[in-house]
Every structure is written in C-alpha cells, then in structure tokens.
Amino acid sequence: MTVLETTFAAARDHKRIAEIAAVLGRFGVDDIAIRLGLGGLLPKRRTRASHTDSESRSQPERLRLAIESLGPTFIKLGQILSTRADLLSPEWITELEKLQSDVAPEPWEAIRAQVEEDLGASPDTVFLSFAHTALAAGSIAQVHRATLQDGTDVVVKVRRAGLRPLVEADLRLLSHAAGLVEAQWPEFARYRPREILHHLGTAMGEELDLAAEGRNCEAVAQNLAAMERIKIPRIFSEWSSERLLVQEYIDGIVPNDHAALNAAGLDGRELARTGTTAFLRMALVDGLFHADPHPGNLRALPGNRVAFIDFGMVGRLGARRREQLLMLVAAIVETSGERVAALLMEWSGAADIDLPRLEAACDIFVARHGVPPLRLGEAITDFMALAREHDLALPADLALLFKALITADGVMRSLDPNFDALAVAGPIVQEEMIRRYRPGALMGKGKSLALDFAGLATEAPSLLRLLALRLRQGRIAAEVELKGLDRIGADIRWAATRIAVAIVTAAFALGLAPRLLDFGPTLLGIPVTALLGIAVILGGVAWLLVPRRR
C-alpha cells in the first residue's frame, strides 16, 4: 500500500478511494490516479470494456466524464476549476464548463420520511398542495412545487438523503491529495491546490446547508431593497432548515427566450441595464453576490423587472478586494497598464516576474478594452489569459467573481447585443469612489492609520534588530550582497531611529485630523484632506532630518 493509501485508510475512506480509482481507470485518466499513488487500485486494462471508447475522446473530455460520475463534491470542484482561466488553458475550461449536475430525482417514497421529519408533519397537511413529483433535480437537492395554506405559490428544495457523509469523505480525500500535490510536485504549487480545496469546502458547506442559502437570499434582498425593478424570492424560514428550504415561486420568462420576451412586450436593453446594475452593486458595493447568474437563474418580469433566483452558490468580497476592483476598473478606463500590472502582482503574490514584459502586455490590454463600448466578458477573458501567460494565479474569490461576470455579461449581451457595461459600471464606480474617499471616510481611515503607525513605531526597532540577527545567522533567504557586515548593526539602528521618528510624526499629524474637522472642511483655506497629505510629507522630512551615526 502506498503512503497516500495508508493515510487515506487511516481516515476511514479506503472504500471511497477504490471507487475513485475505478472511475478514473474506467474513463482512461489513469495518469491522475498513478501520480496520486493509486495505481495499484486501478482495474486491469483487459477488464475495462469502455476504455477503448474513452481513448477516442480528448483528455479534458475524459476527465469531465469521470468528474460527473464521481458525484457532487467532484462536480463542484470541476465547476470551481472552470472559473480558473488564469490557470487552465481554454480547451480545459471549455470542457469543464459542460459539467452537468442534473440527475434523476429521487422517488418521493425515498425522501418522504426526511421531509416529514424536517417539517414536523406530513407535507400534505402543512401545505395546501404539494407535488410529489420533482420539478427539477441536481446532485445536491431536488425541487418540488407547493402551495401554502394562504394560497402563496412556493418551491420546496429538499437535500438528497445521506449526502453529507459522502461529501465529507470526499473533502478529506481531496484535502490529502492537495497537500500531496504541493509537497511532491512543486511545479503545481502556483495552482494553490490547498486554497482551491478550502474554497471547495466552503462552497460545499453552504450548498449542503439550505438554511444558509435562505439567509444569503434574504441578505441580498435586503441589500437591493431600494432597487424597485429587482425581485428576490421571499424565504419562509418557519418551514426551512438545513435539509429543506421553502421559498417564493417566481413565474417569469428566462432571458434567452426571445420570442416570449417579445410577446410580453419587454425591452431587452432595459432588462440588461437593470440586471447588470444589480449584479455590480452586489459585487462592488455589498460584497455578497449571486455566483451563478446563468439564464436558468434569472427571470424577466412585467415592467422590465429582473428576478434572481437560486442562491445556492454565492461569492463574498471583503472591503479591500472591492476597493481593488474599483481601482482595476479605473485603471482600464484611464488606460493605465502600469496600474493593472501592479494589481496583478499584488493579487498573485509573485516575486520573480519579468515586470517590463508584464507592463507591456497590460498596456496592450488597456488599449484594447479602455475604449467604449466595454465588452465585459471579453475584457475579463483577456485579463485571465494575461494572468495565465505570465504564471500569475489569482485569488479564488476573484476567479469566482470573474466567472460570474462573464456569465452575466453573456446573458445581458443576448438581451442587448450593443450593451456597454461601462455605461452601467461607471456611475457605480464613481459613486463608490466618492463614498470611500469623502472627508468623513478619510478621517476614519486616518484614525486607523494613526493607530497602525503608532504600533509600528513601537515595534520597528525590535523588528529591525531581529532582522539583523537573522541575517547574521543566515536564517533569511534573500538575494542580497552584504558588504561591510560589521557595520550592519549600526546602520540598522540608525534606520530604525529614522523610521520611528517618521512614523510617530505622521501618526501625530494624522491623529489631529478629527480635531481639524471641527473647523469645517477647510482650515486657513487649506482642505483638510490636503492636510493629511502634508502629515505624510512631514513624516518623510523627519526621516531625512535624523542625523546618521557613524
């Protein structure tokens, strides 16, 4: 037994490993199993009746078929990988995008007991009507139509029975595999397999918890409450739980049914503008967005209203990430390839990169996409390809957002072929930039920055002494030519003094900023925001004024 098999056996998952190895062998992706140390579990070639058929297919197609056979956890992993155009070439992305989670629904008798347990009674008594035949089914859950006692039409989403133990076993196996890949094949480290698996675990946890899906739906509804043309399904939490979700049924037209849209007299341009405005507000303003806005999860309603349904897959962006995205849009509009390159390097964390080559590529990128109309899907596709060509892996949250934006842009462009995403994004970006950098917000940032500076001023001398010690001990790997090592201690003490004085001076000046606001937006005719800049300059002057000791 290999080391990997031993590890997995100890994790109580040996049976599942054998199933995975058998599927990989059946679809002719043996090399993956062999590289993971599972070659001994592969079926013999002469017993694989379908192997010849598999060999006639491309490797990406064989892997996609194997993933579909392995169930919901692997399907979700494949869907996540389909968002990583910064890592995978187009032929792999195209095939992974075909992953289907639609499966035959479980018969009513197989789930009746679970539904009754979750409702606390028979659905035939809880609801005025309940359809025992599923309306739709996926690998995680299936959906039934129903009517509440007050006549409200709803859909009841039911998680498949016995699913959690299988998903948890698969996540354990994949986590071990990710660690093995990073340890044994450094060339795959840039793919960040453990980060991808962490993202997978989070996504699966939310998909398995239907109550969490309901909370996400309610949060988005609250965030977009001011948008009268946006409809989010109402959640009936009194009947919902981890394995069962009851939500409002929304009867509308799918946006790619152009004949029905025309018959209903709906305006594709207005629908596209409304849908895009809502999505960009979710992502750039609220930080909680629908991560799978394909046509089946959108509905066009009378009055050119747009409904978002099925919040089983959502994405989250922190304040810092949203700020970076605003900077990216601004860099594209201003055709600043240098700023795009800087963001790419920050996101990837790459240390060894050909910066002139990257900046030249970014200049070409902004020259192509910085002129209206902005075709958002094309721009993001090119951006991801640019990252891939320079071996720059993007954070998982960004990859999910970019994939969702490409999907949404495709839907909106089908509604309006001349759709200009920048015409919608521009006002949102401008509004957010004003909100984030108005004097009040800057004062809040100044307070936080002052505290950070004060703490750093206290810690700087000890940190620099520790740096000098580790340099002497050779405990830091750095490509630095050290000349005059005997003087480094004195030089570092001098540098520490300069840093401390500069930081304390800047922190002191920034600490005065809230008091300055008492005098109004200007003081002696100078804008308070300009005074903040003066504070930083004072810090730099203080740095230069500290004499160097020899």
Cβ contacts of 67 within 8 Å, gap of 6 or more: 74, 75, 77, 78, 96, 99
Q: What are the contacts of 436-442 at 24+ separation with CB within 8 A?
A: 436/323, 436/326, 439/517, 439/521, 439/528, 439/529, 442/513, 442/529, 442/532
CA–CA distance, 293 with 307 (Å, rounded to integer): 11
The one catalytic residue among 13, 86, 170, 292: 292
3-class secondary-structure state, position 323: helix
Between the alpha carbon of residue 423 and those of residues 9, 59, 62, 287, 427, the distances in Å are 56, 41, 42, 21, 7
Q: Strand 230-231 vs strand 305-308: parallel, antiparallel, or unpaired?
A: parallel
CA–CA distance, 474 with 478 (Å, rounded to integer): 9
- Give the CA diameter of the chain: 89
CA–CA distance, 44 with 26 (Å, rounded to integer): 10
Which residues are registered as beta bridge partners of 231?
A: 307
Cβ contacts of 549 within 8 Å, gap of 6 or more: 490, 493, 494
Cβ contacts of 176 within 8 Å, gap of 6 or more: 4, 7, 8, 11
Q: Is 416 a catalytic residue?
A: no
The catalytic residues are 292
